Structure 1
């Protein structure tokens, strides 16, 4: 009898996204019984983690993302696809500490060739930056931003001659550099037939397609402002097509704006960010300094850009540059 209740409670929790109280009321059992089923699942997951993850080849691509269960505040999960393997960690929230523990555990379990290039693909959350820089200092870190006023921006963090660089690309940079899957092409055609979305494209402010190169690690997609400056945050969207829900894993429809991407209330417009960056450079303050802004053709003369672009082309050729491959694992 206990086993039947545990299985039914766990099934409702994982398939219906119901709360602990809701499942207890529906099954007419104690809330503690439902909590027991959840804790049993967590113990099972933690006890069945693969001891090692072996990935062959000269490039290891790691997609990582976090999702809360909406069941209990103490339950969430970092899910990751490492090559063809799935790695995960049960944790309450996504923050610096949980990201650090996850990346550290991945470092201990990952077995690759000594000369393999490790590529991380995450959302724009700042919690990923330090752990990846610490445990995988030579890795290439691709960050896709989800918040609505910088959704089409992608940061690539990498090292060249032992120096860190950040290269900003639009998310459609390699869209024409490879052949999309049959499902992807079908969904794109369907969107063209349906026309534009209900939200007016004309009312949006398009982000610049310029490639921006900074020496150092840039954390924020569009700069920061002091709260007393009174700068406003325009809604900025890219003017291109949006990825469809049934497309290839790399083009799953954007989920709700990620809380970890950036703090929208403190972002600036691109013009304000440029002016602020120039002031910082002039005053000699610490921080990533911009060394280039312009078209891709000109940017390709810069070695870090060439390397970043070659990796983007290999991983995302024919697709948008997104972190959605990890998001689909939760489904």
Structure 2
């Protein structure tokens, strides 16, 4: 599997998948990496902390904290599951920010992705359902509920539509608006089909747009922007090479046949050579996954940024 990922230049977006790939069948924890698991009624929360440079090299992830929320399929609009995920997002935001945000600080929300492609529209949809208040704070403060901070947002689109690199857009806004925190939401690529639409990852290490499909752009993180960055994402696609490889492996295991990883990888490469490894697959329910997930993430972030404000009041300020 590692050879396949390297050949097709695929980035492992999810920290839990990167850890599993490194640990393999041994199950032994990686030096410099800590893991905590919390099981709630409907969801599982895994917190992975990468603590030293050696672990960075092994995991291929920056030093920082990664929170993975695993739930039943997000295409199903279950109110009990929804409330539990929102609660987990609020709790995770507190962990990732570590008291670095004051009550009156301005926050900038960034929704990455292409609004014309459903599987890549998680970020723009997140912006659509998020409460935006900065203009009220400046021009009509009496229209805000007491305790609401200034929040602004943008969905900058993608290079092929705007002709602008995401970093250029975001950096310009950060330099002018001067927010204290950046929250970035983007669709991710999974290396396991079972994670599509039932996993949300949050981290305080920023994000590299396009990395999941081998088209990495300038990173949005604290080093490049000078402010804390919380990145949130949900896997919406998986590379066809990964699906083919996993299908062959499962068939061999269930039939008791010998599985040769190198031979299987070569066969997959040959079949997908016409696409250069860029064939990405998403489920037919992707519309529901994007709709429900974007609403859940938007409300989770909103309740974190506006503590004590009811969800009904927050929805009034959504764009």
TM-score, normalised on structure 1?
0.26
Larger-Rg structure:
1
| Relative contact order higher in (CA < 8 Å, ≥ 6 apart) | 2
